[in-house]
């Protein structure tokens, strides 16, 4: 792998890690981000500080819904492939702002694909989400399961973008891989996500809001495993024949919220103060990835256990935030 790659959402948690990895592999990276105000700009700026020191990295600040900006960006960068990570994230906030989520996650994705079509870029890696499975009763979740019952606007917007990607594959022979991420965590994790919130509260001696009785479970997936999967998807779409695939990227080892809290307590050495709250609308009971397809097509094999991942997160947090 060595080419010209455009990463949308490059200053985010996943995007910044991916940029660092692809740069280390000798690729020319064009990063796009609009520094959405969902969390502080300075955190995102710090995520790409090292990448900006690399002469093979060019950063562009702009909005994926701005077709004029995208036309200029594609004309200048001439990417071979687009890795589309930019989105409004979060299940609960999407319930408060469904129009905003669909505007960015659906209309923005169409704008990216239109720019690709116009400029002859035929390879797309599209970030989707395990949230599309809703409260699927069958576990583990497989890509062939029905995903017609999303329980949040965020989930519905991500499934909608998958459908649009198929349309562009069908009409314009675009090669597409949708990657359904399962609860990604690790260094640089967004401050609104559970693991970072729990560590922050633990070290500050603050109470931790816990929604439900602790029996909900998530397929926590370490950032390095996710980046490995994305890089393999880049190789996969680089063949000559157009492809359209959807793959789960998870750890295939769900952890209950109660067990997660126990592990964080062990890793941090802090006693957690729990503030029990009712379950929130839009939250699913569990997530559990069947990664068979990703293993077959991409050679994907998650390697980082939840304990190792939490220990590595803790090391980063102590170094950068205490």
Question: Which active-site residues does the annotation give?
Answer: 154
Q: How far apart (Å, rounded) are the C-alpha atoms in residues 67 and 69?
A: 5
**What b/e sequence results for 153-167 when a residue is b if at least 16 CB atoms lie within 10 Å of its CB, and e otherwise?**
bbbbbbbbbbebbee
Sign of CA dihedral 79, 47, 199, 278: negative
- Residue 180's DSSP bridge partners are 128, 248
Q: Does residue 3 sit in helix, strand or coil?
A: coil
Helices 194-204, 306-321: axis angle to 10 degrees equals 50
**What is the chain's Cα-based Rg?**
19
Q: Who's near 254: CB < 8 A, 6+ residues apart?
A: 217, 218, 219, 286, 287, 288
Kindly report the number of other CB atoms within 10 A of residue 289's CB atom: 28
């Amino acid at each position: 792998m060595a080419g010209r790659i455009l990463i949308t959402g490059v200053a985010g948690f996943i995007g910044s890690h991916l940029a660092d990895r692809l740069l280390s592999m000798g690729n020319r990276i064009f990063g796009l981000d609009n520094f959405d105000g969902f969390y502080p700009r300075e955190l995102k700026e710090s995520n790409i500080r090292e990448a900006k020191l690399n002469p093979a990295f060019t950063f562009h600040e702009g909005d994926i819904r701005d077709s004029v900006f995208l036309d200029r960006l594609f004309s200048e960068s001439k990417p071979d492939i687009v890795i589309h990570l930019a989105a409004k994230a979060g299940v609960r906030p999407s319930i408060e702002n469904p129009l905003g989520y669909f505007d960015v996650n659906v209309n923005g994705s169409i704008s990216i694909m239109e720019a690709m079509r116009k400029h002859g870029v035929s390879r797309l890696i599209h970030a989707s989400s395990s949230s599309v499975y809703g409260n699927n009763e069958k576990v583990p979740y497989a890509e062939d399961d029905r995903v017609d019952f999303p329980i949040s606007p965020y989930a519905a917007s991500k499934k909608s973008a998958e459908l649009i990607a198929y349309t562009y594959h069908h009409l314009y022979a675009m090669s597409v891989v949708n990657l359904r991420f399962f609860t990604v965590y690790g260094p640089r994790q967004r401050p609104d996500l559970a693991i970072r919130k729990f560590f922050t509260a633990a070290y500050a001696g603050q109470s931790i809001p816990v929604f439900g009785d602790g029996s909900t479970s998530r397929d926590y997936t370490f950032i390095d495993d996710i980046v490995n999967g994305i890089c393999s998807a880049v190789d996969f779409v680089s063949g000559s024949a157009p492809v359209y695939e959807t793959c789960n990227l998870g750890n295939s080892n769900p952890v209950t919220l109660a067990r997660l809290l126990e592990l964080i307590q062990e890793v941090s050495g802090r006693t957690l103060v729990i503030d029990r709250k009712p379950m929130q609308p839009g939250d699913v009971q569990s997530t559990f990835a069947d990664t068979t397809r990703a293993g077959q097509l991409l050679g994907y094999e998650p390697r980082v256990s939840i304990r190792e991942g939490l220990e590595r997160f803790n090391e980063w947090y102590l170094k950068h935030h205490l």
